[in-house]
């Protein structure tokens, strides 16, 4: 058996718990499953760094008293994550991650998509502590200006931009006494990007 075939077989075996018959996951996997689903849904096309950044935002929110205290509750908070708001199957999977078929919930229907989901699953195991430096700069919010509702842009624009990763802009609130800089987003440009 060639190395590539052995690797593919290993990946497929690893996928059994993610895409196989829905069986109840151990309680410890609950947050990991929600992290993997939201990272995949928001940033699968942006690779490991993009997915890891989404997971770090979730962890930053867990650490902030303004948000829920576990990953599944954070991603289910109303109006916070566009894919969860727009995709009933994803929302249902987030509500009951223990029995969700992750690939089905996020629409990972191809081999390549399933490999990205496995990558999200692996990253979810370490996202709270790796890398040591948060690539989002402590962000609590992120948005892809090309895909956002332009009506929300003025609210995002008042925040402090902390990072840009892939097509996502990451933001946080200004700290006490921190001088406000340029707007986090250019709303005219965001509105133009959404126009047909």
Helix (H, G, I), strand (E, B) or coil at 193: helix
Per DSSP, 26 falls in state P
Question: Can you give the pLDDT at residue 191?
Answer: 54
Question: Can you give the pLDDT at residue 130?
Answer: 87
Tell how far CA 83 is from the center of its chain.
9
Question: Can you give the pLDDT at residue 133?
Answer: 92
CB burial string 45-72: b at 16+ within 10 A, e below: ebeeebbbbbbbbbbbbbeeeebbeebb
Question: Can you give the pLDDT at residue 13?
Answer: 36
Question: Can you give the pLDDT at residue 128?
Answer: 86
pLDDT in tens for each of the 196 residues of the chain? 444 433 443 444 344 445 544 455 555 699 999 999 999 999 999 999 999 999 999 999 999 999 999 999 999 999 999 999 999 999 999 999 999 999 999 999 999 999 999 999 999 999 988 888 999 999 999 999 998 989 999 999 999 999 999 999 999 999 999 999 889 999 876 555 555 5
Going edge to edge, which strands form the sheet with 160-165? 141-143, 168-172, 160-165
Question: Can you give the pLDDT at residue 1?
Answer: 41
Question: Can you give the pLDDT at residue 9?
Answer: 35
pTM score: 0.84
CA dist 23 to 41, 107, 133, Å? 22, 18, 35
């Amino acid at each position: 058996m060639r190395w590539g075939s052995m690797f593919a077989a290993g990946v497929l075996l690893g996928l059994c718990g993610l895409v196989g018959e829905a069986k109840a996951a151990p309680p410890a996997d609950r947050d990991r499953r929600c992290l993997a689903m939201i990272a995949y849904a928001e940033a699968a096309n942006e690779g490991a760094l993009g997915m890891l950044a989404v997971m770090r935002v979730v962890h930053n929110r867990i650490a902030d008293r303004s948000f829920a205290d576990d990953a599944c509750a954070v991603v289910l908070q109303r109006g916070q994550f566009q894919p969860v708001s727009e995709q009933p199957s994803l929302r249902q999977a987030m509500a009951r991650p223990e029995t969700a078929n992750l690939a089905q919930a996020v629409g990972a229907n191809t081999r390549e998509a399933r490999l990205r989901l496995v990558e999200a699953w692996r990253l979810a195991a370490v996202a709270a502590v790796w890398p040591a430096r948060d690539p989002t700069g402590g962000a609590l919010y992120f948005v892809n200006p090309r895909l956002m509702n332009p009506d929300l842009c003025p609210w995002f624009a008042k925040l402090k931009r902390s990072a840009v990763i892939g097509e996502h802009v990451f933001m946080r609130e200004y700290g006490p006494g921190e001088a406000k800089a340029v707007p986090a987003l250019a709303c005219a440009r965001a509105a133009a990007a959404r126009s047909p």
